[in-house]
Amino acid sequence: MKNSKRTIGFLVVPPFELLDLAGPIAVFSNANVVEGNRCLYEIKIISAEKGRYVTSADGSCMGPATHYAKFEDSLDTLLVVAGTGALKPITPSLCVVSSTGEASPGCGIKGCASSRVSGASL
């Protein structure tokens, strides 16, 4: 059975705790090592704020990161990393998904406005 590479995206919304991003990234990285250093998972860091790196609440930086408005790659899985205070709107163009799974009009993420998210809830 051939394993194909899966792309995992981490949308990072500050403030966030470093462990909340580094821990899950380590899980996918270690899966690659266990499988003989084959690239089963490719990690992409997507930032809610502009900049080449994401900065955690304690000032630690991770990267490289791509601002969500410029992110054009395909993802198999998207995980959101955020902490206390991250629920405050930081930009009106972030995609909001309603309880019916409808993406908000004018979403800044390429292809998102016409998509549905199954099982979405607020």
pLDDT digits (tens, 9 = 90+) for 37-93: 788 999 999 999 999 999 999 999 999 999 999 999 999 999 999 987 665 555 555
The domain tally of the chain equals: 2
Residue 87 inside a domain? The answer is: no
Asked if 41 and 109 count as a contact pair (C-beta separation under 8 A), the reply is no
Asked if 82 and 16 count as a contact pair (C-beta separation under 8 A), the reply is yes
- Round the average pLDDT of the chain to a whole number and report it: 78
Q: Are residues 97 and 78 in the same domain?
A: no
Residue 44 inside a domain? The answer is: yes
Q: Are residues 114 and 68 in the same domain?
A: no
Residue 30 inside a domain? The answer is: yes
**Does residue 20 carry a pLDDT above 90?**
yes
pLDDT, position 60? 93
Average pLDDT over residues 15-32: 94
Q: Are residues 69 and 99 in the same domain?
A: no
Q: Are residues 72 and 122 in the same domain?
A: no
- How far apart are the C-alpha atoms of 81 and 10, rounded to whole Å? 7
| CATH number, domain containing residue 23 | 3.40.50.880
Structure tokens at 116: 């549905």
- How far apart are the C-alpha atoms of 25 and 19, rounded to whole Å? 10
Q: Are residues 68 and 17 in the same domain?
A: yes
Q: Are residues 50 and 99 in the same domain?
A: no
Determine the structural domain holding residue 47 and report its residue range.
6-82
Query: Model pTM greater than 0.85?
Result: no
Q: Are residues 58 and 116 in the same domain?
A: no
The one-character DSSP state at 68 is G
Phi, psi of 36 (to 5 degrees): 75, 35
Q: Are residues 76 and 101 in the same domain?
A: no
